[in-house]
Amino acid sequence: MYVYLIYLLIFFAIPVGILGWLVRKDLIRYKRTILWCLAFIYTMGWVWDWLSVKTGVWRYDSAETVGLWLDGLPVEEFVGFYLLGAFLLITVFLAIRRKLKHV
Amino acid sequence: MFDHLSYIGYTLLFCVPPLLLIWLRREFFEILVGNLRTIFLSTIILTIYGSLIWPIALKYGAWAYSSEKISNVKLMGLVFIDDVIWWIFIGLIFSSFISLSTYYEDRGVDIVWREIRGLLASFRNALRGLRIITLERNSTIHVAIAVFVLLEGVLFRISKMEWLFVMVAIGAVLGFEILNSAVERLAAKYSAQQDAEIGLIKDAAAAGVLVASAAAAVIGFVIFMSRILRFLL
């Protein structure tokens, strides 16, 4: 069962899709900010994640993932968690800022 | 590494330094304070959302924690405190960074590149400043002694701890010597005439080198004297 993938789709992809649509103009406007957020997550975030798995803080049960691994981490982590996680953080911030500007 | 505080420990390790980098700078602080409501609201909403969905991931086995590496303390019996702390810091860092970066992007500035270029320029200038060593007699003497001590350290195979002391001593002496040379040149530029105050400032800078050198000599004596005597006798 692709538990992790389904989890990412429900709790990351859907909110990001909704919020992303609401702030789509800002997402186009702030391309550099988005790229830097992704750069930090794919570098420092990866090191943190790798270290945590290596030292046993958390683990990913292979039975609940797609089954493709990269350096001890499931591929869903790179495609789903990092990418969608970054956009979740960005879209939440931009949506709140937009809302507060109109209040 | 941190046993039951591993999860929280890593969160602090990876999050506190970047937060300080962003919030300690006066220029950035003023911008962030202007966006405080957005930053805190984003952090709170992300923390609440994350605290609700993280237990679902654990329940259905998307990932699992090692009980020896987390606090095992649950907030309201639902979510691990480690997860809440993680979301707070992640929310705070990214909200702060996005707030700052979008501010500068609105003004046509890539703030990260600007900071990287500034840092590289600082390194280039500092490396250029090293050439002052070649312009002063005392500086060259200190460099020669430092190289001699390094070679002695290799030949006598001193321990890691002794290397630590040697490197600190060399760093201190050369650092103070470079500063002293800079102060002397600045003083000469400021006033070509004899001035009691300027004289005192120059002497004090030289005294700094003297103190560092004396301490380094003691360190060298303690580490190498017995070895040299054993070698000679």
pLDDT digits (tens, 9 = 90+) for A85-99: 999 999 999 999 999
Measure CB to CB from residue B110 to each of A32, A44, A89 and give the nearest one: A32
pLDDT at B87: 96
With beta carbons under 8 A apart, name residues in chain B contacting A3.
60-62
User: ipTM strictly over 0.90?
Assistant: yes
Closest Cα in chain B, distance from residue A20 (Å): 15
What's the average model confidence in pLDDT over B189-201?
A: 83
**Does residue B27 carry a pLDDT above 80?**
yes
**Does residue B125 carry a pLDDT above 90?**
yes
Measure CB to CB from residue A64 to each of B37, B38, B62 and give the nearest one: B62
pLDDT at B231: 82
Q: Does A101 touch chain B (CB under 8 A)?
A: no
* Range scoring the smallest mean pLDDT among B22-26, B66-70, B100-104: B66-70
Fold of B125-232: Helix Hairpins (1.10.287)
Nearest to B44 by CA among B88, B74, B96: B88
For A56-72, write each residue's pLDDT tens digit: 999 887 667 778 888 88
Percentage of residues in chain B having pLDDT higher than 70? 100
Q: Does B65 touch chain A (CB under 8 A)?
A: yes
For B41-99, write each residue's pLDDT tens digit: 999 999 999 999 999 999 988 889 999 999 999 998 999 999 999 999 999 999 999 99
**Does residue B100 carry a pLDDT above 80?**
yes
pLDDT at A79: 85
Question: Are B105 and A64 a contacting pair at CB < 8 A?
Answer: no
What single-letter amino acid sits at A61?
D
Q: Which residue of A has its CA nearest to B99?
A: A93
pLDDT at A62: 65
- Rounded to 10 deg, the angle between the B6-23 and B81-106 helix axes is 20
Mean pLDDT in chain B?
93
**Does residue B151 carry a pLDDT above 90?**
yes
With beta carbons under 8 A apart, name residues in chain A contacting B66.
56-59
Q: Which residue of A has its CA nearest to B50?
A: A11
B7 in Cβ contact with B75 (< 8 Å): no
Which residue pairs, CB below 8 angstroms and at least 24 apart, start in B102-110? B102/A26, B102/A30, B102/A33, B103/B31, B103/B35, B105/A29, B105/A30, B105/A32, B105/A33, B110/A32
For A35-59, write each residue's pLDDT tens digit: 999 999 999 999 999 999 999 999 8
pLDDT at B1: 60
Reported as a pLDDT band with limits 50, 70 and 90, residue B21 is: very high
**Does residue A34 carry a pLDDT above 70?**
yes
pLDDT at A63: 64
User: Domain segments of chain A: what residues?
Assistant: 3-102
Copy the structure tokens of residue B213: 């050198």
pLDDT at B136: 87
Reported as a pLDDT band with limits 50, 70 and 90, residue B191 is: confident
Residues 6+ apart with CB under 8 A from A1: A63, A64
Question: Are B37 and A100 a contacting pair at CB < 8 A?
Answer: yes
User: Domain segments of chain B: what residues?
Assistant: 3-109, 125-232
pLDDT at A74: 87
Nearest to B141 by CA among B219, B91, B193, B216: B216
pLDDT: is B28 or A102 the higher one?
B28
Nearest to B139 by CA among B151, B131, B128: B131
Q: Does B63 touch chain A (CB under 8 A)?
A: yes
